Structures are given as C-alpha cells and as structure tokens.
Structure 1
Amino acid sequence: MHFPRLHARVHPEIAVKFALFPYLLAQGAWLRQTALVLPEPPGARTGFAGKGAPLRMLVLGDSSAAGVGTDHLDQALPGQLRDLLAPHYEIHWHLEAKTGRTTRQMFKRLVKMEPEPFDVAVTALGVNDITKRASRENWLEDTELMLDLLETKFGVRQTYVSGIPRIGDFPLLPPTLRWILGKQGLRYDAGLSDMVQRRDNTFHIPADLPLDGLMSKDGFHPGPVVYAEWAKRLADQILHNFPAAPPAEVQVVKN
C-alpha cells in the first residue's frame, strides 16, 4: 500500500494514526461494543446553597460535568464545587451537561436556552471532540464561539475552562490508542491554554489530575477522589479571583 509523503511538520501521533487507521477503527468499534457504560448519576441539577454574597454559577459540559463515575451528583464536580464555595457565597448553581456532548453541541444547546444571568461558568469539554475526530482548529473555534456566547447571552463575568484530562492515562484504552489520544490531548490542551490566555476574565484550569487507581470502574471517567481534587482547583481559583462584594446586575441579551 502506498501512502502519501508526510509533511515534516506532521505530529508523530497523526502519522501513526494515519498509518494504522483501519486497525484503530476496528479497535474503536470493539471498545464501543465491550466498554462498560455508566449512567449519569442522580441528584439536583439546580438549586441554592450557602450564605453571603450571591454567586450564580453555571457548570456545563460532557459526561464528566454530569458526574459519570459517581453514585450521586454530590460526589461529582458540581456537587463538590458547590460545597466548597457555599461557606463563602450564597450559591445558585445550574448544571447543563450530557454524556457524549461535544463543544459544538454545547454551543448549539446554549443558543436554544433561555437567557439567564450567571456570574461564573465552569466548562468541562474536549474529550468527545478528540474521540470524534474534530480537528484542533475547529474545536478551538467552537470553544471560542461558546465562550463569547456565555458572555453576551448569559452575562458571564468569569469563565473557568477545564483543560483536557490525561487521556494517555485512561486504563480503558489499549496502549496504541491510549498513546495517540494522549498525545492529541496534550496538543489540544496547549492550544486551549494559549487561546484562553488571550481572553479577558477567562481562566484555564489544567486537568493534570492524579488518575492512578482513582478512575471509576469503567476506566474512562474520574472517580470521586479525582472529582474532589478537580473541584478544589476550581474553587481555589474562583475564591482568589471573584469579588466578595455582591455583583452588579447584568443585562443579558435576548434572542
């Protein structure tokens, strides 16, 4: 079989992915058929907690935002983040998350939602974009569109963008696929960090979390301990950055 000559700037994982594409497709199909599928856990997706200065928080994303890998949303990112912030603020939180969701799908969902003002948004997206073969450029463009919409339609004052987790450490994945997706994850996350740094009031929260022995039983999603560390990193940044005084009312854009 003859392959076109690869350009010198092609990243190693792309070259391997190209050369092994039929094998990787078969491996991916096998994983979809055999992998343990965990449900989204029960729990309130909106509510109030704590006392103090009001803080309106939107958590949005994919299965990790939805808490897959835990028995209840209280153990997941939204619940643990809420509990860490509640001693300092009167939290009104809302979770908008769904298993399998890509960044483009999240953007389309936000377009359809009714405008509601939020002070803080937390995003957890990107892994599905990688596994569904979105290019890094298209993914970053979709991410920027989503971040713009959060500011203009929902009045979000600060957005905390979770980085791409270390896919190369996911025990579910076979070694070759794990290496390829892990390398892609690092490149995508580097691009995300660069893009976020060019934006005002937007913060990149690295997802280089400890995973060894702490993943859920499906080998793909975090366990409660990982969610707890993730929530702590986010809470520390929010507490450091967000003003303690009650925020001014924000006028959101009506469609």
Structure 2
Amino acid sequence: MHAHRKTRPPANLGPWQRLLLLWLLGPLLWLQARHVRRITPRMPEPPGQRAGSAGQGSLIRLLVAGDSGAAGVGAPTQEQALCGQLVRRLSRHHRVEWCVLAVNGLDSPGLHQLLLDTPEAAFDVVVLSMGANDATALCAPLQWACWQSRLADLIALRFAPALLMHSAVPPMHACLALPQPLRWFMGRWAQQMNLSLAALLIEKVGRSMHWHPSTTTTAGMAADGFHPSAAGYALWAEGLSQHILAAQIASRHHPDLKPCSAAAIAH
C-alpha cells in the first residue's frame, strides 16, 4: 500500500451518504466481497520471536498490538514484519524491550478482550494496528472511534504508556485485491473512520495517530494484494520510528506495574 503510483484519497462522506451508497450498491458489494474472500489466499502469521530485547542506551519498552498488521502477515519473518522493523530502527538509539500481541483477523472488540486477558505490564510506547477488519465489517466510523477510546482507556489502566500510537486504517482504496467499486467504497469508509478518530484525538495528551501513505505499488504489497510486504512494513515502521524518536520517550518507573516480561505477555 505504499510508494510509487499515486492514488487520490476518497472524498469524505456523511452518514446518510454512506447509507445511501450501501443501499444502492449493497448487492454488488456483497457479491464482490464474497468473491474476494473465496479467491484471496489466506496468508499465515510469520514465524519468529514475539518478544525480546535489542540495542543499547536508555530503555524503551514497546508493545505492538492488534490485527494482522501487528502480527506481520505478508512478511516472511517477524524480523521483517512491523515490530521487527520498528525495533531495528529504535535500537539504533535505545535499548528496546519489545512484545507483539496480535492475532490475524482481530477486530476492536476482539482486541479489547485480548488485552483484558493479558497480564498487566509496564510499557513506554504502545502501537495499535487496528481497523481493517472493523472496516470490512462496516463498523460505523463514530462507533469505531469510540472503540479506540475504550482500547486506549484499557491500555492506560493495564500498561500505562507514555505514548499510545494509533496506526490509521490502511488506505483501502489502494488495496489491489479489492475490485471496483468495492475498493472505492471501502476506501471511503476507511477514510471516514480515520477522520472520526483524528477528531477524537485533538488535544489528547499521550495519544497520537500515524497515517499511512495514500499511495500504492505492488512492491509494497504482499502476494494477496491486501497486506504489506516486507518493503511495505519497512516504510510503515520508518514513519512510526520517526514519531516515537521525536517524542523522546524514555523508560519511566511504574511502582504499581511489573516490568515487561516476554514469558508473561507474548502469545
């Protein structure tokens, strides 16, 4: 979903416009979505460690949580997935203790339950990859933004990070696996989800949003035409790392939380 060929982001739609389009195009969109599910190969989560430490210097404790993007689907190994590439960049400047907590196919309610089932731990930075499965389920944009607030409240309670990074819903209008007009419609839906979350994050201390590039190339996408490839994850991680490093996050002491434990939190 990244780099060379530019694609224009879809225009904004109001609630009534979205419902009208869904009513008018519903049967065709349903048939196309069913066809995509049938022919698109289901890629596995890549092998590799889901917790560890790397680098030297001041400590950053990092949790990458969420859906298939956080799990690295589309990359050949965890080292070439989102967390691995992010750790590689951050560890040039810091000692990084990191964990991945992610499941392919997870939506926001599913992640909320997964976080509830995860032992409390201390983290400095939490990166959330969440939204593509909510979008394909047509979760209303305002409802989705409210779910992100619920996730943020739970993360603050259980992990107390200095920085929570919401990674935006990917630019679905650039997903080559989706035929038109399904790709166009899903792009509009995802864009409105992102705008709803961005509005909620205004003046929110300790929470920020990372937007994906609104461009695409087959070099940045996996074979399924939906998930990032290793090159796509590299570009995603580069943007996240710049934001985290600019925030100058350093490890803080949480007297009521245990340190990050790979054995306790990695699934």
TM-score by length of 1: 0.91
Matched with 1:80 is 85
Unaligned regions of 5+ residues in structure 2, if any?
A: 1-12, 259-267
CA contact (8 A) 2:82 2:233 kept: yes
Is the 1:171–1:219 Cα contact (8 Å) retained in structure 2? Answer: yes
Which position in structure 2 is the counterpart of 1:222?
A: 228
- Rounded to whole Å, the distance in 1 between the matches of 2:172 and 2:212 is 10
Taking structure 2 as the reference length, the TM-score comes to 0.87
* Alignment partner, residue 233 of structure 1: 239
**TM-fit CA distance, 1:250:** 4.7
SS at match of 1:221: coil
Task: Tell me the residue number matched to 1:160.
Answer: 165
Secondary structure at the counterpart of residue 64 of structure 1: helix
Percent identity over paired residues: 30
The Cα of 1:155 is off from its aligned counterpart by 1.5
Match of 2:181 in 1: 176
Task: Show the counterpart of 2:154.
Answer: 149
For 2:8, the equivalent position in structure 1 comes to none
Amino acid at match of 2:92: P
1:136 to 136, 141, 161: 141
The SS at the match of 1:194 is: helix
Q: SS where residue 151 of structure 1 aligns?
A: helix
Deviates more, 1:156-165 or 1:9-18: 9-18
Which structure would you say has the larger RCO, counting Cα contacts within 8 Å and 6 or more residues apart? 2
Indicate the structure (1 or 2) with the bigger Cα radius of gyration.
1
* 2:123 equivalent to 1:118: yes
Q: Distance in 2 between matches of 1:14 and 1:115?
A: 40
Please give the secondary structure, in 2, of the residue aligned with 1:165: coil
- The answer to whether structure 1 residue 56 and structure 2 residue 61 are counterparts is yes
The root-mean-square deviation of aligned C-alpha atoms, in Å, is 1.7
Unaligned runs of 5+ in 1: 1-7
Q: Deviations over 1:131-150 (max 9, x none)?
A: 01211122111110110111
In structure 2, do the counterparts of structure 1 residues 135 and 237 end up closer, same or farther at CA, with 3 Å as the change threshold?
A: same
**2:162/2:249 contact within 8 Å kept:** no
Q: What is the CA distance between 1:195 and its match in structure 2?
A: 1.4
CA distance in 1 between counterparts of 2:181 and 2:165 reads 32
CA contact (8 A) 1:58 1:93 kept: yes
